[in-house]
Structure 1
Amino acid sequence: MNSDSYILVVDDQMANIEALGELLADQYDVHFALSGQAALAQVAKSKPDLILLDIMMPDMDGYAVCRQLQSQLETADIPVMFITALATPDEETRGLDAGAVDYIVKPFNPTIVRARVRNHLAFKHAKDQLRLLAQTDGLTGLANRRYLFERLQAELERVREQAAQPFSLILIDVDHFKHYNDSQGHVAGDLCLQRVAGVLKAELRNPDDMMARYGGEEFCCLLPHTGLADAEQIALRICRRINELAIPNADVEHDAQRVVTVSAGVALCTAAMASVETLLQQADRALYTAKAAGRNQVKVWV
């Protein structure tokens, strides 16, 4: 954990930055920012595991930086340690109320700073592991339904508030899966879903893309910054690659396919979208159309 942990030190005095860098750089990946605004810009590019933050800075004080980090879903979980010359109990209370996990007064004791940094990083690592478990479907390793809805809501709010690029959604259903389960058994059914999930994972091209198990044999692909045409191509590629797995699914009545296939419905979310439920309904209707048209194909809601 130590060598990979990324710490951001924020202070407008180079002497303080050099002192903390010398103290921590042998154990952690330490980066620096000389102002509050520079710190926020750096966090937007790459999230640190821990921030050591001064309070008294000219452009934006540490309290404001901490409050802004706490107000954003993407950065609220980053622990912040204030390291400051402000030594009164009122200032310490203010710092902790702003969301900091610790408050250290300068001049600091190097041994104590090392110990507290180590403890806060260990605690964050444990929290991250628990959060990952809570967000993951146990069978497939994809995101679970609960986390999917959290991300969908966050993406919808981002599109509305920031006039951001619309995003696309793909709903995918394994064709004739009940027949497969009944004929092959539930163990084989679970393995089939895991192999389908593997194809979906391989389609994760951008850091913000997310593949989730929507329920049963149904999956969902959340594709931020992706338009309808590109999402349709991704869905077509997924269908083709599931076919290429050649998982036998013989004796399906009235179906020329003798392997496991999937059908997909694609929909686009814009700022005018009423709700996440509306988006899912549109993707589900497109999926129903694909099923009704013979399965093993993609339909787009327009």
Structure 2
Amino acid sequence: MTNPEGSNKQMITEMMTAHEPQDTLVLIVDDVATNIQILADTLKDKHHIIFATSGSEALKMAARHEPDLILLDVMMPDIDGFAVCKQLKEDPRLQDIPVIFVTALSEVEDETKGLDLGAVDYITKPVSPPIVRARVRNHLQLKYQRDLLRRIALLDGLTGIANRRHFDDVYEREWRRAQRQGTSLSLVLADIDFFKGYNDHYGHQAGDACLRNVARGVCEQIHRPADLAARFGGEEFICMLPDTPTEGAEEVAERIREAVEALALPHAASAIAPHVTLSLGVATALEPVTTSAEALLKLADEQLYTAKKAGRNQVRTAILPAGSVTS
């Protein structure tokens, strides 16, 4: 587990010192085998190469492999390159993949059309291997830096874990997936007990350090790739647990509570313990197709409130009834 406190600085340093990305995957699309061979021989020393010989095959390959860059011919027998590019740019998963047209069409109108459709570059045949290598390298570097900036934008600036915007985006996708597949989805909402008193007693700089330590404690209890821990706002943290029934979510919440308590961060302003503690609310949707994402969030918040009313430093759990919606 990386230290959340240093993650922003580390990624910014990586971005500023980025060289050519390694292990990149390039999709070459051309209906002429010799053209594919020339491009593959030009790039194979530094990139992994896959290829397609038609527009329809290119779309399937792009969806399956999500390459880092696509070299795309225009004139193909089934779907031409312009149509392929248009479909790629309409797909949210594929729209950020750089597309370079490699074609015998050399008219200004053709190049303009390709760039207007979203391609990042236009190379005319016969190709010059040094030019191809340079342009591929440059566009991969730009993509790498854009991806880093996008990742940084999804992190909480103080703690280095996912921010509310990232959580909202992922939660929406996972909710829809749970609805399609009929699987359960659980949320764990946590709040630092008496955090205002902590800030008043120790100062905001110490409060920031406390938030970073708690964020680390929360993240260390999230083990599965699909699970997500985020700063929800202020001193609140939230964990999204796909495919997780109530018992599993309650177990995760209890682990988080114990992990933060084990940090033994002094809290002289707490009314319940001499150290920092968490109150947590757990909510599970067993039938997402008949409920709403907003209702599950509301239920988690209600359970958090119940935990606080019951004395804090504890977990309270509920299952979202079928048909629940927010008002």
TM over 0.5: yes
- In structure 1, the gaps of 5 or more residues are none
Residue aligning to 1:26? 45
Contact 2:193 2:270 in 1 (8 A): no
1:168 pairs, out of 155, 164, 186, with 186
CA offsets per residue over residues 87-144 of structure 1, 9 Å max, x none? 5555544433443222323322222222221221222222223222322211100122
Once the two structures are overlaid, the 10-residue window that deviates more, 7-16 or 184-193, is 7-16
The whole-number CA distance in structure 2 between the counterparts of 1:243 and 1:45 is 44
Per-residue CA deviation, residues 14-45 of structure 1 (Å, 9 max, x unaligned), is: 43333222212323x32303355665555556
Instruction: Using the TM superposition, name which of 192-201 and 65-74 deviates more.
Output: 65-74
Correspondence 1:279 to 2:303: no
SS at structure 2 position matched to 1:271: helix
Does the aligned pair in 2 maintain the 1:171–1:221 contact within 8 Å?
yes
CA distance in 2, matches of 1:289, 1:209: 24
1:230 aligned onto 2:248? yes
Secondary structure of the corresponding residue to residue 290 of structure 2: coil
Deviations 1:218-257, CA, capped at 9 Å, x for gaps? 012233444444333222221121122121224533x2x3
Report what 2:8 is aligned to: none
Looking at structure 2, the residues matched to 226 and 43 of structure 1 have their Cα atoms a distance apart, in angstroms, of 31
Aligned residue type for 2:88: L
Q: Does 1:117 align with 2:117?
A: no
Deviations along 1:146-176, one digit per CA (max 9) or x if unpaired, are: 232233233334445x446443322111112
Question: Structure 1: how far apart are the matches of 2:182 and 2:127?
Answer: 44
Quote the residue 1:52 is aligned against: 71
1:219 aligns with 2:213: no
- Residues of 1 paired with 2:96 and 2:258: CA distance? 39
Instruction: Quote the offset at 1:80 in angstroms.
Output: 1.8
**Of 153, 166, 189, which aligns to 2:207?**
189
Report matched runs for 1:83-232 at 5 Å.
83-89=102-108, 91-160=110-179, 162-163=180-181, 165-232=183-250
Whether contact under 8 Å (1:21, 1:30) holds in the other structure is no
| Aligned residue-pair number | 297
Per the alignment, residue 277 of structure 2 pairs with 261
Structure 2: gaps (5+ residues): 1-18, 320-327
How many Å separate the matches in 1 of 2:177 and 2:120? 27
Which of 81, 91, 100 is the matching residue for 2:100? 81
Give yes or no for the alignment of 1:295 onto 2:312.
yes
Residue 252 of structure 1 aligns with which residue? 270
Distance change >3 Å, CA 203–CA 252, structure 1 → 2: closer
CA distance in 1, matches of 2:104, 2:141: 26
Q: Please give the per-residue CA displacement for 1:189-237, whole angstroms capped at 9, x wherever unaligned.
A: 1111111111233234343433221111001223344444433322222
C-alpha change, 1:38 and 1:292, in structure 2 (3 Å) is: farther
Separation in 2, partners of 1:151, 1:271: 17
1:17 paired to 2:36: yes
Measured in 2, the distance between the counterparts of 1:237 and 1:39 equals 46
Normalising by structure 1, what TM-score? 0.83
Report Cα offsets for 1:278-300 as digits up to 9, x if no partner. 33212111211222222222222
| Secondary structure of the corresponding residue to residue 66 of structure 1 | helix
Q: Check 1:157–1:240 CA distance in 2 against 1; reply closer, same or farther (3 A cut).
A: same
Q: Distance in 2 between matches of 1:89 and 1:248?
A: 69
What code does the residue aligned with 2:279 have?
Answer: S
Match of 2:325 in 1: none
